[in-house]
Structure 1
Amino acid sequence: MSNKTLAILSYITIIGWLVAYFNCKDQKTKSDVVTYHLEQGLGFFIVSIVLNIALSVITSLIPSLYFINLIGILLLIIWIIGIVNAANEEKKPLLLIGKMFEGKFGFLHQ
C-alpha cells in the first residue's frame, strides 16, 4: 500500500488503524506522514470513545441535556479534516485535539 493510503486508513475505524500500523511497521523506511497520522488517528479514537461515554452518562443522568450530544457533529468535522490532511499528505494537527497527541505514542516511532 502507498503511504497516502496508509495515512488515510489510519482514520477509518480501529481496524483500519491496525492495518495501517502493521503495514507501516513492516516497511523498511518508515514514512513520517504515516506515523504522524497514526498518532493523530489513535488520539482521535481515544478522545471520541471517552467523550461518547461521558456524554452517554451525562444524558442518562440528566435527560434534559440531550442537546450536548450534538458534540458528535464536531467529532465528525474533526474526523473529516484528519482524512483530508492525510489525503493531501500534510502533517497538520487535528482541530482542537491534535496538539495533545503529537509525539505521545512512542511505540509508533520504533
Structure 2
Amino acid sequence: MNPKVQSILSYLGILWLVAFFAGKEQRNDLSKYHLKQGLGLLIIALIFNTIVGVVLMIIPSLGTILSAVSIIFLILMVLGIITAANEVKKPLPVIGKLFEDKFDFIDK
C-alpha cells in the first residue's frame, strides 16, 4: 500500500487501522502526518458522539441541533481526504494543530 493510499484511508474511521497496520514498511512523513490527523479526528468524533448520546437521553428535543453539528465531522473528514489526495501536509481546521505532535507510536 503506497503512502498516498495510507493517507487517504487514515480519515475513514475504522479503515485507519488498515492504513496503520498494512503499510508499516512503506510509511513516509506524509502518511505519518495524515495518520495522526485521522486518528485525532476519530477520537474527537467518538468523544463528541458519546457526549451527544448521553445528552439526547436526557433532553431528546436537542436531536436536530446536535445532529446538525455532527455534520462538521463529515466536513473535516472530506477536507482531510482532499489534502491527503493532493499530498499536502495541512492540518485539519480547528482541531488539526492539536494532533501534529501527538501519537508518537505512529512515528516508529
Asked if these proteins are the same fold (TM beyond 0.5), I'd say yes
Report what 1:105 is aligned to.
103
SS of the residue aligned with 2:54?
A: helix
TM-score, normalised via structure 1 length: 0.90
Equivalences for 1:1-110 in 2 at 5 Å? 1-14=1-14, 16-27=15-26, 30-66=27-63, 67-110=65-108
Report the residue type matching 1:5 in the other structure: V
Structure 1: which 5+ runs fail to align? none
Structure 1 residue 24 displacement after superposition: 3.3
Superposition misfits of 4+ residues, deviation over 2 angstroms: none
Q: Percent identity?
A: 47
Structure 2: which 5+ runs fail to align? none
SS of the residue aligned with 1:13?
A: coil
* Matches of 2:70 and 2:52, distance apart in 1: 9
Report the residue type matching 1:68 in the other structure: L
Give the conservation status (yes or no) of the 8 Å contact 2:12–2:77.
no
Cα RMSD, aligned residues only: 1.2
TM-score, normalised via structure 2 length: 0.91
Residue correspondences, number: 107
Give the conservation status (yes or no) of the 8 Å contact 1:40–1:98.
yes
* Matches of 1:20 and 1:72, distance apart in 2: 24
Report the residue type matching 1:43 in the other structure: G
* Matches of 1:36 and 1:76, distance apart in 2: 19
Give the conservation status (yes or no) of the 8 Å contact 1:24–1:34.
no
